[in-house]
Amino acid sequence: MKKFNIFCISIISVLLLNINAKEIFIEPGPNEHERLQEAMILLQEGDILTIKSGYYSFEDGLSLDVSKVTVRGEGMDKTILDFKNQKSGAQGLLVTSNQVILENFSIMDAKGDALKVIGSKGISMLNLKTEWTGGPKSTNGAYGFYPVESEDILIDGCVAIGASDAGIYVGQSKNIIVRNSVAQYNVAGIEIENSYYADVYDNLASHNTAGILVFDLPDLPQQGGHHIRVFDNQAIDNDTDNFAPEGNIVGEVPRGTGIIVMANSDVEIFNNVMSGNGTVNLSIVSYSDETDDKNYYPHPKNIQVHNNTYGPSGFDPDLETGDLAKALYEISAGDMPDIFWDGVVPLSQMILGQPKEERLVLNEEDTTSFLTISPIKYMLGFSSPIRTDIKEFEGKIKPLESISIKTF
């Protein structure tokens, strides 16, 4: 009976919330920033804020800190929030609340990040667009979509253009779905960093410096990124010169990269199309910079790659950016492979071999070219320190579970 009463109270609470919920409309015109920001402050749980079609020009950033609300426009090409004259605020829109739906509008030319979400549990970004309209420049904002330290993240049907770091970035978060989205002319198209449990699928990542990145970095509160599935994507024609600001880690990524996995574990990459990437279609690498972070593990492990389609790659390697392309070009004598693994593992594993559960598994067509380095042979100066037989890495695929998230 007690459980039944609690259930009834919950149902009544939801019904009351829906009864009291209201829809607020904002139209373009005088004092549009003040009116929109005030509306976001005064929202109550269950409310819907509709930003009508039109062009809105802002000199200040916007913020939302009310949970269980919806902010919607009337289409990403109809409701335009323009921040090119922004004088204050580190991003276009900052969200710090839970169970929020954002949908059907664009954020253009933000001074910093376009849409930042921090510490949210339950954030849905649907049919949104972020863009820097002046083309690739280091002065563009770092991130288009930028949820961090959050849970239950859905990015669906979005478009990201022109970010000087990553168009769609999810960092230090868990339970993530990025799908049906387009990332173009960014440094990194889509990036999952230091995160747990992500599905990235049915996306187009093209004309970026690199299409899709799965990274784990040191000196961050959440490390050991794992359980990432990247599937049914097109990582094609990534051909934009790297325009990241100096000192940014993504600034080391060579132009013409399809997918990179760095220092993550339990990653499954399958059913993707990787083609037209001038340096390499797929790279699997360790973190190579020095770090004092003793808790950080810099090597990828349990990476499974299967049933992908590979087109032309390696035809225009970027020998000016970072060390990856230069080293690969030198080691391969210019015959760049579809898949590159740097072969770097802890010293004990170089000598004794990797544990079975940590080994790289590659189940691809025989025509897929592959190259890896035997680090000990390389360090000892052997004339042929490379291995190119992809069959050596065949194994049983153990599919990772699909991701489910709680949505509002």
SS (H, E, C) 223-286: CCCEEEEEECCEEECCCCCCCCCCCCHHHHCCCCEEEEEECCEEEEEECCEEECECCEEEEEEC
Is 50 exceeded by the pLDDT of residue 7? no
| Res 89: pLDDT | 86
What is the model's pLDDT at position 10? 43
What is the predicted pLDDT for the residue at 241?
A: 97
pLDDT tens digits, 376-405? 666 656 656 789 999 999 999 999 999 999
Task: Give the range among 186-190, 228-232, 377-381 with minimum mean pLDDT.
Answer: 377-381
Kindly tell me if the per-residue pLDDT of 233 is higher than 50: yes
User: Could you tell me if 371 and 332 are in contact, meaning their C-beta atoms sit under 8 angstroms apart?
Assistant: yes
Mean pLDDT rounded to a whole number for the chain: 93
What global pTM score does this model have? Answer: 0.93
- Could you read off the pLDDT of 250-267 as tens digits, one per residue? 999 999 999 999 999 999
**Structure-model confidence comparison of residues 283 and 89, the more confident one:** 283
Between 37-41, 301-305, 345-349, the lowest mean confidence (pLDDT) is in 345-349
Q: Classify residue 400 by its DSSP letter.
A: P
In this prediction, residue 206 carries a pLDDT of 98
Q: What confidence category does residue 351 fall into, taking pLDDT thresholds of 50, 70 and 90?
A: confident
Spatial neighbors of 242 by CB under 8 A, at least 6 apart, are 187, 209, 250, 251, 253, 254, 255, 318, 321
Q: Strand, helix or coil at 384?
A: coil
pLDDT band at 346 (very low <50, low <70, confident <90, very high): confident
The CATH code of domain 112-393 reads 2.160.20
211, 258 Cβ separation under 8 angstroms: yes
CA–CA separation, 110 vs 130, rounded Å?
9
Tokens at residue 327, please? 């080293």
**pLDDT for res 194:** 97
Q: Looking at 11-59, which runs of residues are DSSP E strands?
A: 23-26, 48-51, 54-57
Please state, in angstroms and rounded to a whole number, the distance separating the CA atoms of residues 338 and 281: 5
Task: Measure CA 111 to chain center.
Answer: 20
Spans of all domains in the chain: 112-393
The per-residue pLDDT for 352 is 80
What pLDDT is recorded for position 293?
Answer: 93
At residue 6 the predicted structure's pLDDT band, cuts being 50, 70 and 90, is: very low
Q: Look at residue 16 in the predicted model and tell me its pLDDT.
A: 46
Residue 2's H or E segment, with its range, is: helix 2-20
Per-residue model confidence (pLDDT) at position 408: 66
- pLDDT of 347 reads 82
Instruction: Check: CB of residue 62 under 8 Å from CB of residue 35.
Output: no
Residue 364: pLDDT band (50, 70, 90) is very high
The pLDDT value given to residue 19 = 67
Query: Which pLDDT belongs to residue 303?
Result: 98
pLDDT of residue 379: 62
Lowest average pLDDT, out of 40-49, 206-215, 223-232, 322-331, goes to 322-331
pLDDT recorded at residue 383: 56
Of 4-18, 145-159, 222-236, 383-397, the range with the lowest mean pLDDT is: 4-18
Question: Greater confidence, 15 or 89?
Answer: 89
User: What pLDDT, in 10s, does the model give residues 45-64?
Assistant: 999 999 999 999 999 999 99
Q: If you average pLDDT over residues 245-250, what whole number do you get?
A: 92
CA angle 392, 398, 402 (to 5 degrees): 135
